[in-house]
Amino acid sequence: MKRPELVCPAGTPAALRTAVEAGADAVYCGFQNATNARNFPGLNFTPDEMQASVAHAHAGGTKVLLAVNTFPTAGRFDLWRDAVDMGARFGVDAFIVADIGVAEYVKRTHPNIRLHLSVQAAASSPEAIRYYAREFGVKRVVLPRILTVPEIKQLAREIPCEIETFIFGNHGLMVEGRCSLTNYVTGLSTNMDGVCSPAADVHYDKQPDGSVTTRLADFTIDSFAPDEQAGYPTICKGRYHAPNRPDAYYAFEEPISLNLSGLLPALIEAGVDAFKIEGRQRSRAYVKSAVSAFRKAVDAILAGQQPELADLLALTEGQKQTEGAFKTKKWR
């Protein structure tokens, strides 16, 4: 049985150290600017921190994957070039890229550093994946979270590169890299600035009856009764009215987390090479719990034992979890 790589989020240097200690095979992280898709306030690495963190990870036997996975706009390309060059200087093990121009730059200037295709490139067919593999030498694709396990198994047979799938964390349902919802509402772009439903535009408005409405800029995203669990006002996790839905409903998705701990053996058997835990914006405590749990689970599976699946529910958004598209086509 092939040993899948456990790829873990590192939003801060402390989280990176935590992930390494908890048994991550690889960590993924980004610089403090728009070059990566988790450009949140107070998160990510300065150049010095990145350099020290790469050294620390390598000393612990962990690889570092640098996320450069947003789309530079004309006139700003230098920021992405600098990020790539710095990452190369610091010795990162791979770049996670979505933009064709950035992929081309990596291939041309750092041909010896692995190129991984970000989920932001939304490559969901063998044709799309083979295109990136052929044109840029992509060695691994992070699959969009929209395929069933049998579909992944079939796809694995038709592509020349490795497969990485998400197994835990925040569930992204819009085709990644093609979502302008945040820009429509706030003026900051997910694809260009690396932000999604940014905190700066979040408002929690307490109503006189004790309920709370959550707002992103001018739009109400959801409303909660005094005893209801509230959530962060991510646009695609809100509740809305449709003509045939007079009661507000989750038009896109409920605030729910992906948890594929029950599908790990099936995913390994389908040919998945790496498991990705989502959550660079989450805390060290989350990283420690999630990474430790999946480290134990993967090791158990490889040893031919039943994995003991820790209850990760408390770490999930909305305290609910799903196996999403991986389990069934009915998710679509």
Partner 1 sequence: MQCLTLGPIIYHWKPEERRDFYARIADEAPVGTVYLGEVICSKRTPFLEPDYPEIIERLERGGKRVVLSSLSEVVLKRERDMLAAICETEGHEVEVNNTAGLLDIGGRPHRIGPLMNIYNDETMRYLAGRGATHFSLPVELPAAVVGAMAAAGQGLGVGVEVQVFGRASLAVSARCYHARAHGRTKDNCLFVCEQDPDGMPLKTVTGQPFLTINGIQTLSHSYVSLNAEIEAMQGMGVSHFRLLPQRVDMVAVAEIFADRLGARIDAAEADARLAALSMPAPFSNGFWHGQQGRRQFGPRPD
Partner 2 sequence: MIYVNSAAAGGVLRDLMRDSTHNDPNHRAGLTRFLPPLPLFVLQPLLGRIVRRVARDNPSLFNRLGPHRAARFVIDPLGLPFGLLLVPNPDALVFCAFDRRSEPASDARIGGRFLDLMGLLDGGADGDALFFSRDLDVSGNTEAVVCLRNALDDVEGSIAESVAGMFGPPGRAALSGLRRMAARAASRKGDHA
Size of the site for partner 2 (CB under 8 A): 38
DSSP-assigned letter for residue 9: E
Which C-beta is closer to partner 1: that of 54 or that of 143?
Answer: 143
Q: Give yes or no for a contact between 189 and 182, defined as CB atoms under 8 angstroms apart.
A: yes
Among partner 2, partner 1, none, partner that 72 touches (CB below 5 to 8 angstroms by kind): partner 1
The number of CA neighbours under 13 Å toward the Cβ of 93 is 17
Task: Give the pairing type, strands 162-170 and 257-259.
Answer: antiparallel
Q: Which of residues 58-87 bind partner 2 (CB under 8 A)?
A: none
Contact with partner 2 (CB under 8 A): which of 4, 9, 13, 194?
A: 13
Among partner 2, partner 1, none, partner that 186 touches (CB below 5 to 8 angstroms by kind): partner 1
Which C-beta is closer to partner 1: that of 199 or that of 251?
Answer: 251
Q: Which of residues 170-229 bind partner 2 (CB under 8 A)?
A: 198-200, 202-204, 206, 224, 228-229
Residue 318 touches partner 2, criterion: CB under 8 A: yes
Residue 165 touches partner 2, criterion: CB under 8 A: no
Q: Which residues contact 48 (CB under 8 A, 6 or more apart)?
A: none
Judged by DSSP in three states, 62 sits in coil
Judged by DSSP in three states, 134 sits in helix
Least distance (Å) from partner 1 to the CB of residue 324? 10
Among 7, 54, 51, 45, smallest CA distance to 26 is for 7
Angle at 328 between CA 322 and CA 332, to 5 degrees: 90
Residue 49 touches partner 2, criterion: CB under 8 A: yes
Which residues form the interface with partner 2 (CB under 8 A)?
11-15, 17, 40-43, 46, 49, 198-200, 202-204, 206, 224, 228-232, 255, 281-286, 289, 314-315, 317-319
